[in-house]
């Protein structure tokens, strides 16, 4: 045992300094906020409260984002100017085109499957005795890190060439189809993408369940009763009453998940490291920029990611606006 708690004390000193700095900044802002003239219209007062945010956001986000855009036009060391070469590389290099295809697969499949599972589950458990518990079970993966979830599923997908299988999926194959049916799931070309996507679906479905279940409870019971009096069956009730009534919530869930899938990085890195054709844009951006030292290419990938996120977010904002107006 080599762990010595005393070695860790400097870290707590740093933590203490950080918390102290935190208190100083907050108290400082409040103190100045006390003495500035408290007219309702005051630029000084406004800026005092905004300064910490403005400083952090400009140094931490605005200036870096502009720098990245500039770097995306430069070479691997971030010096020479190469024009749009890095973008040309993204859309012509066959390997990177595969990465773009994988990202498209993630953005389409994760929201669709996770929302479908979440919706069906939310409808079934609605108003049953064990609803709360049932919801928590599916919701719990939301609290687990992508890294943790990746390890959980890597264990499920584990493959042994000789001896007993220790991965649950391969053991199921043995039980159902015999010894010959086992597979090394994470190296199967193309299909391995789907096994990674399943992990993200597993994490996100709980989010869909919770949001959609709340929406289902908001459907006026008059509508449901009226439909019932008209004699609709469960299938019709689901498609003709429930789904149209909660459509706005479904869209919010779909959009939120598609953004999350576009930016997904951790699962790919932990489970396959992008090998065997499983890389996605966000992972490739990291791999090119840091281990690969290809600053220009990494920056171009980040910009592409940014450009892909924009339309989704704009759609989301417009959608939210409309909802507010309706209310």
Tell which positions 178-207 bind other proteins, by CB under 8 A: 202, 205-207
Is 186 within 8 Å of 268 (Cβ atoms)?
no
Burial class, 238, CB count within 10 angstroms (exposed 0-12 / middle 13-18 / buried 19+): middle
Tell which positions 204-233 bind other proteins, by CB under 8 A: 205-207, 210-211, 214, 221-222, 224-225
| Site size toward other proteins, by CB under 8 A | 132
Sign of CA dihedral 144, 150, 153, 155: negative
Cβ proximity to other proteins: between 37 and 94 the closer is: 37
Tell which positions 247-266 bind other proteins, by CB under 8 A: 252, 255-256, 259-260, 263, 265-266
Tell which positions 139-168 bind other proteins, by CB under 8 A: 139-148, 150-156, 158, 163-168
User: In whole angstroms, how close is the CB of 231 to other proteins at the nearest point?
Assistant: 14
User: Which of 129, 176, 180, 229 contacts other proteins by CB under 8 A?
Assistant: 129
Is 306 within 8 Å of 285 (Cβ atoms)?
no
Cα–Cα distance, 308 to 318 (Å, whole number): 17
User: What contacts 150, CB < 8 A, 6 or more positions away?
Assistant: 199, 266, 267, 270, 271
Taking CB under 8 A as the rule, which mask of x and - marks residues 279-318 in contact with other proteins? ---x--xx--xx----x--xx-xxx-xx--xx--x--x--
User: Which of 6, 8, 189, 325 contacts other proteins by CB under 8 A?
Assistant: 8
CA distances to 13, 16, 18, 310 from 9, rounded to whole Å, are 6, 11, 14, 44
User: In whole angstroms, how close is the CB of 324 to other proteins at the nearest point?
Assistant: 10
Q: List 142's β-bridge partners, or say none.
A: none
User: Could you say whether residue 24 binds other proteins (CB under 8 A)?
Assistant: no
Closest CA to 267 of 153, 115, 138: 153
Cβ proximity to other proteins: between 22 and 191 the closer is: 22
User: In whole angstroms, how close is the CB of 101 to other proteins at the nearest point?
Assistant: 19
User: In whole angstroms, how close is the CB of 163 to other proteins at the nearest point?
Assistant: 6
CA distances to 213, 227, 230 from 221, rounded to whole Å, are 14, 10, 14
User: In whole angstroms, how close is the CB of 71 to other proteins at the nearest point?
Assistant: 7
């Amino acid at each position: 045992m080599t762990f010595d708690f005393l070695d860790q004390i400097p870290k707590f000193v740093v933590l203490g300094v950080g918390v102290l700095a935190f208190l100083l900044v907050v108290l400082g802002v409040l103190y100045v906020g006390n003495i500035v003239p408290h007219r309702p219209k005051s630029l000084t007062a406004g800026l005092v409260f905004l300064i910490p945010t403005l400083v952090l956001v400009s140094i931490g986000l605005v200036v870096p984002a502009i720098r990245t855009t500039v770097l995306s036009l430069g070479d691997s060391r971030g010096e020479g100017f190469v024009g749009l070469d890095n973008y040309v590389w993204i859309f012509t290099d066959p390997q990177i085109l595969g990465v773009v295809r994988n990202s498209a697969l993630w953005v389409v499949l994760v929201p669709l499957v996770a929302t479908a599972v979440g919706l069906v589950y939310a409808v079934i458990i609605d108003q049953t005795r064990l609803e709360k518990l049932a919801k928590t079970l599916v919701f719990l993966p939301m609290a687990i890190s992508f890294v943790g979830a990746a390890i959980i599923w890597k264990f499920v997908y584990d493959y042994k060439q000789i001896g007993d299988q220790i991965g649950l999926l391969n053991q199921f194959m043995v039980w159902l189809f015999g010894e010959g049916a086992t597979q090394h799931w994470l190296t199967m070309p193309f299909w391995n993408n789907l096994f990674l996507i399943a992990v993200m679906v597993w994490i996100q479905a709980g989010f869909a369940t919770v949001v959609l279940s709340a929406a289902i409870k908001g459907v006026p019971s008059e509508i449901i009763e009226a439909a019932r009096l008209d004699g609709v069956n469960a299938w019709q009730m689901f498609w003709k009453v429930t789904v149209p009534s909660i459509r706005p919530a479904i869209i919010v869930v779909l959009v939120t998940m598609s953004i999350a899938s576009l930016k997904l990085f951790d699962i790919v890195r932990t489970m396959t490291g992008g090998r065997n054709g499983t890389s996605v844009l966000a992972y490739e951006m990291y791999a090119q920029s840091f281990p690969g030292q290809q600053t220009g290419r990494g920056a171009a990938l980040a910009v592409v990611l940014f450009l892909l996120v924009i339309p989704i977010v704009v759609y989301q904002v417009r959608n939210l606006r409309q909802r507010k107006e309706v209310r």
